[in-house]
Structure 1
Amino acid sequence: MAKTVRLALVLHNHQPIGNFHHVFEQAYQESYRPFLDVFSRYESLKIALHTSGSLMEWLNEHHPEYVDGLADLVAQGRIEIIGGAFFEPILAMLPARDRIGQIRTYTRWLENRLGARVRGMWIAERVWEQSFGRDVSSAGIEYTVLDDFHFRCAGLTESDLHGYYATEDDGRVVSIFPGSERLRYTIPFADPEETIGYLRGIAEEHDNPVVVFGDDGEKFGTWPQTHKHCYHDRWLERFLDALVRNQDWIRVTTLAETVDNVPPLGKIYLPDCSYREMTEWVLPVTQQVEYDRVSHEIADDPRWPSLKRFVRGGNWRNFKVRYPEADEMYARMMRVSRRLDDALQSGIAGELIDEARTELYRGQCNCGYWHGAFGGIYLPHLRNAVYEKLIRAENLIDRALRRPDRWIEAKAEDLNFDARQEVELANDKLIALINPNAGGHLYELDVRSIAHNLLATLTRQPEAYHRKVLAGGRNGNEHCASIHDRIICKQEGLDQRIQYDSFPRKSLVDLFYDNHATLEAVASGQAAQRGDFVRGDFEARLRRNPDRIQIMLVRDGAAFGIPLRITKGVTLNAGSSKLEIAYLLEGLHNDIPLHFAVELNFAGMPAGADDRYFRDNHGRRLGQLGTRLDLSDVEGLGLVDEWLGIDVGLKASRPTHFWAFPVESVSQSEGGFELVHQSVAVQPHWFVLPDADGRWSVTLQMSIDTSRAESRIEDATAVATT
């Protein structure tokens, strides 16, 4: 009797919260629908399918016929539905209550809509820590799929990987399948016969082996060049035909059937890990470059196949170190989760709390929290979406707690888990977070009426792949290949646009320039910094009264080698959407004018559109938000985003010069290297001449008007109720 092999094909379809409707639609037309159309014709074949909750909600709303088709195939026993955490979070960034809650909630949704019995789950980005076993099992999950890389890092060899293993944590057992990295690169990029040959070798060498392919469904049509490859060139049909031709020894099965019919190979405890590429992306850039250099140098060494299983990169959690913005989102998410849990523990329940929980879960979607081959944290719309959901969740919690229409509070506590105190100023309109220990920066400014963080910015830093851009990428199309191997520049001249920031792109960043500094030098990062206030510690004091709160930040430092003191105050009133920002410089020399600037950044207000523009204090337009502005002796400046429905006005107490320029990054995505608008930097600046006491002061008023957006919401509500 010929030897056989079980093959489980596990597809993972996902689009993140905040992605554009046309991206969802394109992926549906290019991948999800055509794959199902082709697969449904092969009645003897089965697959396991995971669809993230963010994508499934969109499909259910926009293409219910597709979801109905899934339900039919489930009823026929053709598709096993794989569950998971509802909105595709990285489990490592969630408290246990949210891990279990997301998994259970999505299981119920899938079982109700598709009539499926959910037994397995997809682990987002295969980021695994051993303690997850307890939570996964507690949520009702029996098994999952990770990469064979996890198992190699635990000491297993190739011959040990053709089955599945049991693991446990705190006595709770879950089974884990190793997904084949080899198949991730051959399917769908190599000729189908290469995969058949690989499976034949395994069948001949092992008894009753199981091989699992687990990877993104988007590689069957949405990844560059794959739609033509899979459907017009008929790769998918040829692959499925090959499986049917070889059904006498290739048993195409599901994870559920395998668990029910094949015992585990044994017990395993896996290290904290992800797929191989992820452990490389999380490394500091210098270590990524070194890792890449060394691995390429020894790739042809005959000892490398034996050694490489002992080599791996970093831990996913360190993305929160590589990208401080990821840590800011994580800390914000954790605070909302804690507030929700506190409300539940105090007996608060009902529809508002249920809605808040759903918004929190949506704000935990992983894609905006890290960066690798996909755009991730470099994509502003993903960061904006995370904050939108978290702010909406907090608004709903406040409503459930029946807070008054007008309120105000200030608190100092460790908001970002760095063992130092930050400050939150909040009222019914705004939430402002300030870090006295990092330049006294304003690093988050939430506009509650439109659930938007004006400081969801990104600080530009070196990336290992910038070497490829500087070496000269190719424009245009190329043959079908894995996204890990493509070098495509989506715009001309990207090598000239790579720029790194010497300080965080936040607000209330205190700068001193040479008197001859120009807009071009400042925007390009060439203007020298002559002070030590950008990142230094400030002493912070809070002042509170029933309708008004203020933080005073003081630092004794130096500019141009001259000792001086900066005091800056931020004031917020109850019921107000205005911040009053006051600066006092002391210890100045009467005969030495200093060039002083304060950087403010505004995120989520894109460039390149006529309805997003600068204005002067009289309402006259000064150009799109991507324009560079160099204004002298004006009273103020405004930034308008009509689509978002916001008008931010800056007004100074004395004649002020303004510089404004876009902050743009060069980053990697599955489509290639691209230029991305991150924020608009605005720098009011002055040539400071002190009074007789060596003092100089200015007050900036930042007013945030969202009446346009609120009017649209009211109109939409009125239409919905008629």
Structure 2
Amino acid sequence: MPQKFHLTLLIHAHQPCGNFEHVLEKAYDSSYLPFIEHLEGHPRVRLGLHYSGPLLTWIEKHRPQYFARIKKLVQGGQVELVGGGFYEPILVSIPFEDQREQISRLAAYLEKHFGRVPSGAWLAERVWEPQLPTALAAANVAYTLVDDMHFLSAGFEPEELFGAYIAEDRGKTVWLYPGQKVLRYLIPFGKVEDVIAYLRDAASIHPGGVAAMGDDMEKFGVWPGTHEHCYKDGWLSDFFTALEENADWLAVSTPGEYLETRAPLGRADLPTASYTEMMEWALPTRVRQRYHEVLKEFSARPEILSFLRGGSWRGFFRKYPESNLLHKKMLRVSARIAAAPARHDDRKAADELLQARDLLMRAQCNDAYWHGIFGGIYAPHLRTDPWRNLIRAEAIADRQTPGALVARVELLDYDADGTNELLFTSLEAQALVKPSDGGTIAALDFRPAAATLVNSIRRRPEAYHTRLREAAGKPATGAVASIHEQTRVKEPGLERFLRYDRWPRHAFRVMIFDPARTQADYEALELREAVGFASGAFTVKSSAPYEAELFRTDSLTLQGKNPSAG
């Protein structure tokens, strides 16, 4: 008798730190609750569930009865809870010790509330880099899931993706599941019979093998049109029923359960990668547009597509300097907290440092550092939350560090762009001045209120703006599709308001322009300001804790004249 084929599902639920209360309430009612209700009705369907820390703490406070339902499913063996970074950081973007603490925090939380220590970890946005096995092993993580694209980029053949592999870094290992893109798009957007047909075909070729799929729970109710599709139209119930009806050849296993009885298929030395869409989003806009056209050109050539890759997640730091600045602030605060002297004899001081660590961990939540389909870095409330937490955490570290409360000015390459900035710090404020960019203030924090006063993002072209213009006036279709395949706007006519800034939206930029220019010119970004003064490099003549003198000599033309100006 041939071995059963396995399907392992890892469903991930997350809400960003700082998200609106009504968003969490709607997500709970539309997706998180009905998904569990349907799972309870199909006890032979077993799967892995991952909930991020921000979502778990909200549920604990506002919907505690949900925990009892999850715990019952866990105790019955139907659900395996999977760990990860508590505040859903991109692990490769944070310091090693922070990686371990993030993972340990979620593991401890799951053990406290559900009586289980997770063996696996959800990898935020499936962002993988080759050094991760060391970090994951240090945090007692046995396995994680990435995408088939990670494997295909390493030279694996599609038929090799029906098992689990071992990844290694400097002697430390972790199991890897290759999550299959075809299942991500079939579940729940394809027909149930097509999902079963795909699995049956795979089972005939790979008896005893496994097909893995990891994706968002939000696509079962939160994404546009999916609540009606999954629950009112019955897709999810039909899917679970079909899995149970095919139990004679198909075993639906939790991720850890499958690994207990299987040997790895071999090594997987994977390159830096994420899921296909993320690697496209990370590209600079013009390159992304060309890349998208190439993907369309070869869409019917799957043997070619495995050689086509976008950028890496770190590319967002180049694409969005605002993200890079936030990231470097986070790294600086992490280092300052780590360097603060331990005060074991002072309980209040020790508690403050623990609070600073938690604020830092919150600020590592990934959503504000990038942009894809959802708002991300463009969402002011998501951007503000990590800044506020970092300001508070740094203020605590300063209070704990002797001499750090003295007003000071530092000359340093704060944002790691190869040029020096001036960082002014006092008890009340912190300001980052960029002489290389018109002497502007890139960051200005009012520390008593933990408020960032310079927090606007540059308006820049995005690849989907072209599709927005093309979609203007076209009727919407009624089909339910993956959000990656949709072009949606909050209101018609938004394409008429697309404007692109010439400069980063820093404070105190020197704008010298012809006095004949009007308010309409300003709104249309047609001031034709003097470039040298607006964005040129200024020389630092002198600096002190509360002041600095910057200087630039240039020329400008006004009303036909060309006077020298300094």
Settle same-fold status: TM greater than 0.5. Answer: yes
Secondary structure, aligned partner of 1:418: coil
Counterpart for residue 522 of structure 2: 522
Letter in 1 for 2:357: R
Deviates more, 1:486-495 or 1:347-356: 347-356
What is aligned with 2:556? 559
Counterpart position of 1:155? 155
Q: Is the 8 A contact 2:6 2:209 kept in 1?
A: yes
Moved more, 174-183 or 90-99: 90-99
Structure 2: distance between partners of 1:448 and 1:249: 62
Deviates more, 1:446-455 or 1:256-265: 446-455
Q: Normalized per residue, which structure has more helix? A: 2
- TM superposition shift of 1:530: 3.2
Partner of 1:571: none
Q: Which residue is equivalent to 1:491?
A: 491
Shift in Å, 1:63: 0.9
Distance 1:193 1:245, change over 3 A: same
Cα pair 2:353 2:396 within 8 Å, conserved: yes
* CA positional deviation for 1:493: 1.2
Q: Secondary structure at the match of 2:318?
A: helix
Report Cα offsets for 1:228-278 as digits up to 9, x if no partner. Answer: 111111111000000110111110111111110111101110000000111
Distance of 2:476 and 2:375 partners within structure 1: 19
- Which residues of 2 match residues 494-509 of structure 1 at below 5 A? 494-509=494-509
2:46 aligned partner, one-letter code: K
In structure 2, C-alpha distance between the alignment counterparts of 1:402 and 1:420, rounded to whole Å: 29
1:90 aligns with 2:90: yes
Q: Contact 2:330/2:363 (CA < 8 Å) preserved in 1?
A: yes
CA contact 2:556–2:565 (8 Å) conserved in 1: no
How far the C-alpha of 1:396 sits from its partner, in A, is 2.2
- Return the letter of the residue paired with 1:414: D
**Secondary structure at 2:59's aligned position in 1?**
helix
CA-to-partner distance for each residue in 1:573-606, whole Å, 9 max, x for gaps? xxxxxxxxxxxxxxxxxxxxxxxxxxxxxxxxxx
**Partner SS state of residue 372, structure 1:** coil
2:36 and 2:73 mapped to 1: Cα distance? 10
Conserved? CA contact 1:556–1:563, under 8 Å: no
Equivalent in the alignment of 1:574: none
Residues 293-340 of structure 1 deviation map (CA, whole Å, 9 limit, x = unaligned) = 12212334xxx2222111111111111000110001001101101101
Kept in 2, the 8 Å contact 1:362–1:386? The answer is yes
* CA shift digits 1:5-28 (9 cap, x unpaired): 111111000000111011011100
Aligned partner of 1:449 in structure 2 is: 448
TM-score by length of 2: 0.96
Which sits farther off after the overlay, 289-298 or 272-281?
289-298
The Cα shift of 1:442 comes to 0.4
Alignment match, 1:14: 14
**Contact persistence 2:166–2:176 (CA under 8 A):** yes
Would you say the 8 A contact 2:298–2:305 is kept in 1? no
Provide the identity percentage.
38
For 1:475 and 1:319, the matched residues in 2 are separated by 33
Instruction: Provide the C-alpha distance between the structure 2 equivalents of 1:475 and 1:59, rounded to a whole number of angstroms.
Output: 38
Residue equivalent to 2:232: 232
Contact conserved, 1:10 with 1:49, CA < 8 A, in 2?
Answer: yes
Q: Distance in 2 between matches of 1:472 and 1:426?
A: 48
In the alignment, structure 1 residue 328 sits paired with structure 2 residue 325: yes
2:459 corresponds in structure 1 to 460
- TM (norm. structure 1) is 0.75
> What does 1:105-254 correspond to in 2, within 5 Å?
105-254=105-254
Contact map agreement 1:476 1:488 (CA 8 A) in 2: no
Relative contact order, higher structure (CA 8 A, sep 6+): 2
CA distance in structure 2 between the partners assigned to 1:73 and 1:388 by the alignment: 37
Distance 1:476 1:57, change over 3 A: farther
- For 2:97 and 2:555, the matched residues in 1 are separated by 48
Q: How far did 1:425 drift? A: 1.2
Answer whether contact 2:14 2:54 (CA < 8 A) is retained.
yes
Give distance in 2, aligned partners of 1:297 and 1:42. Answer: 42
Match of 2:100 in 1: 100
Q: Report how far residue 350 of structure 1 moved.
A: 1.3
5+ long unaligned stretches in structure 1: 567-722
Contact 1:17 / 1:362 at 8 angstroms: preserved in 2? yes
- Residue 68 of structure 1 and its aligned partner are, at CA, apart by 2.3
Q: Counterpart in 2 of 1:549?
A: 546
CA distance in 2, matches of 1:542, 1:249: 77
Which stretch shows the higher mean deviation, 340-349 or 437-446? Answer: 340-349
Cα deviation 1:18-75 (Å, max 9, x = unaligned): 1101101110010001100110121222110010111111111111111222122111
1:379 positional shift: 0.8
Larger-Rg structure: 1
Cα distance in 2 for partners of 1:383, 1:76 equals: 40
Letter in 2 for 1:51: Y
Aligned letter for 1:557?
D
Q: Post-superposition shift, 1:403?
A: 6.9
Q: Are 1:337 and 2:334 counterparts?
A: yes
> CA contact under 8 A between 1:167 and 1:269: conserved in structure 2?
yes
Q: Give per-residue Cα distances to partners, 1:477-528, cap 9 Å, x unaligned.
A: 8432110111222212111111111111111111111121011111211221
Residues 1:550 and 1:165: Cα distance change in structure 2 (over 3 Å): same
What are structure 2's unaligned runs of at least 5 residues?
A: none
Aligned partner of residue 244 in structure 2, secondary structure: helix
CA contact (8 A) 2:108 2:117 kept: no
Q: Deviations over 1:180-220 (max 9, x none)?
A: 10010000111111110000000001131111110000000
The answer as to 2:448 corresponding to 1:471 is: no
Distance 1:233 1:36 in 2: 17
